[in-house]
A and B are shown apart, each in its own frame.
Chain A
């Protein structure tokens, strides 16, 4: 099983193909996790197979392919591992985590801009003035779309952070728009 792409940098160390070797280890890790997680589950008999048969046998197979790839990484030429970027995953997924931790308590009004701004940091091109404005506009647009138009039960401002006059002005405007919207909606839906 030799995959030797031409023109790629070839590693001449102990590992002939770090990519295959790494992916093999990765798979073995998953297999171990699966096997440990299903360790106590009964195999059952063939006429009534238990809950452990599928997870354990599949985990063993995953591990076997992992070993095969490790062997392939040791003995046959192949690709090098691509470098992992740190900045991207940290900020993009960091933004998602911030969203998850703030959406219930503070609502979309906080979680939205935070998620947008934190994840933006993953890109070097980010501009400091443009970003907060964009984050707020985007959040308001999402609020209108998901909360008002689609009625999804997403918390928007559970902590009451929006000042009262702003909120009342919004309700007034909404009353006007919703009448217009309802008449259009009644034409489309049902």
Chain B
């Protein structure tokens, strides 16, 4: 009972922060601009957040975080809109939505598809907010028991999850993560003051900026890829139709929404981009449960309602490892770490205890953000459709300019703009060699933390690696990592994994 009272006490504290006129306004603006940019085909959440980061600079930390979170949900939701209307998934998590969502749009039911996606997402957002609020306190308490060795092992586990969940070969995924870790060591070593891997170039003595990396690999490289595939954009010409699903639609999608929400919330909690699994898992589940599975792929509303709910639930619960343990579970959250650092906030268990207003304010704003998405997006669908009809020849130079201004504004540094161009080329090369950039970004952010914790752990244990096995928590996490890697290498399971990704294409 005490815990429940605490929960509501905390949430009402959060609401009092988030419901101030200013913060509601910022949340609204964040959601709106996030959707606006996220709707653009080929601009995923990572590029959106990096591009819009400078907008938050003039704000206080609470306002900035609330706005950033709004931008994040907006970008996520915008991706789904593009998936339904143009058949181009903004990112991996909305791939599944294109299957039935776009079919519905072709049948003149785009409005219903978007409507049910919004309603499902809102329901998922409500549930996920409560889950976050409920889990925050116990997880933070647990995090305080973590020693450096345990942290290190937890990050190893997170990276192993990322390997298992990446597309393509296990060797490539591991290599890419290691490249990310290698990049994280560039710059001055905090302990010894020595410059590492800078080749005498003073501009990178402070290390590489996560925003520079992200913008290059996800902003510019994505444009380069889009320019190659000159696929005609298949914007639906059929009428958008009614936005509100009818009674039959609701009956068909209620259960998928609930199941999708639970699946997505659970998977989002996993370290190492579990959120990406949510929509796939939900789609597969709904197809299995359906009386007539052949309807899937031909505009079945369950195929939109379930995965979209899972998508949004996972997008939100992915905040939990970041906020309680300080460990970003995926590339988007890795970027959030960078954004929070710019505002002087160090993610981790100390946020909740030292800055409860900020912590609970942000959580409360998650719910408000979801409500906003529902309210602003449905009436604005006409605007998004028009935006999608802007030809790519005008769109991509505009994105290039926004990226340039964004990167320049972070440190007022033209050199960082140059470096971003370099990472654009690097990201393009990665893709050409069949290497995925998202695990690299995760490895980059976790690399620094891992080195720090490794050092601390070894100092405490006076130089014996046994500390990683002697501590039961650390040993358990490492064992789990080992199991994961064995599973990933086992051929039978690898085939299944490839199948799952292929089905989605």
Contacts and interface: CB of A to CB of B under 8 A. Distances in A.
B435 A55 contact: no
Q: Is the interface of B mostly helix, strand, loop or mixed?
A: helix
A100 B400 contact: no
Contacts of A20: 169, 434
Contacts of B447: 54, 58
Interface residues of B, number: 72
Given A19-B434, A69-B171, A115-B401, A58 B227 contact: no
Given A48-B459, A146-B405, A154-B405, A59 B182 contact: yes
Nearest to A185: B25
Contacts of B223: 88, 92
A79 B220 CA distance: 25
A9 interface: no
B175 A69 contact: yes
Contacts, number: 213
Contacts of B227: 85, 87-88, 92, 122-123
A58 B465 CA distance: 17
Nearest to B414: A100
A3 B169 contact: yes
B300 interface: no
A123 to B, nearest CB: 5
A93 B409 contact: no
A27 B175 contact: yes
Contacts of A68: 171
Interface stretch (A34-42, A164-172, A173-181): A34-42
A106 B432 CA distance: 36
A162 interface: no
Contacts of B403: 96
Nearest to A54: B451
Interface in B408-423: 408-409, 412, 414-415, 417-418, 420-421
A81 B429 CA distance: 11
Contacts of B421: 93, 96-97, 100
A161 to B, nearest CB: 18
For B409, B415, B417, the residue with the greatest tally of chain A CB atoms inside 10 Å of its CB is B417
Contact of A37 (B199, B404, B432, B463): B199
Given A152-B57, A153-B412, A93 B185 contact: no
Interface in B273-329: none
Interface in A87-113: 87-89, 92-93, 95-97, 99-101, 103-104, 108, 111-112
A19 B433 CA distance: 6
B198 interface: yes
A146 B400 contact: no
B226 to A, nearest CB: 9
A47 interface: yes
B154 interface: no
Interface size class, chain A: 35 or more
Given A19-B433, A49-B454, A101 B414 contact: yes
B149 to A, nearest CB: 13
A89 to B, nearest CB: 6
Contact of B414 (A19, A26, A104): A104
A120 to B, nearest CB: 5
Interface stretch (B119-127, B188-196, B334-342, B367-375): B188-196
Contacts of A54: 181, 185, 447, 451, 454
Interface string B382-424: 0000000001111011101111110011001011011011001
A115 B434 contact: no
A166 B426 CA distance: 43
B21 interface: yes
A84 B432 contact: yes
A62 B401 contact: no
Contact of A41 (B54, B172, B194): B194
Contacts of B142: none
Given A38-B197, A51-B191, A151-B58, A100 B224 contact: no
B405 A123 contact: no
Contacts of B393: 120, 123, 125-127
Contacts of B464: 46
Contacts of B465: 46
Contacts of B194: 41, 51
Contact of B198 (A1, A37, A92): A37
B237 interface: no
B503 interface: no
Contacts of A97: 418, 421
Given A55-B185, A100-B421, A116-B398, A46 B175 contact: no
Interface string B422-442: 001100110011110000000
6 contacts: A65-B178, A79-B434, A88-B224, A92-B220, A150-B55, A153-B412
Interface of B: 21-22, 25, 54-55, 57-58, 168-169, 171-172, 174-175, 178-179, 181-182, 185-186, 189, 191-192, 194, 196-199, 220, 223-224, 227-228, 391-394, 396-398, 400-405, 408-409, 412, 414-415, 417-418, 420-421, 424-425, 428-429, 432-435, 447, 451, 454-455, 458-459, 462-465
Question: Which 4 A-B residue pairings sit nearest by Cβ, starting from the closest?
Answer: A47-B463, A37-B197, A46-B463, A23-B433
Given A72-B171, A97-B418, 20 more contacts: A1-B169, A41-B189, A51-B189, A51-B194, A54-B185, A58-B182, A58-B185, A65-B175, A65-B178, A81-B433, A88-B223, A89-B424, A95-B397, A99-B417, A100-B421, A103-B414, A115-B401, A134-B394, A152-B54, A153-B409
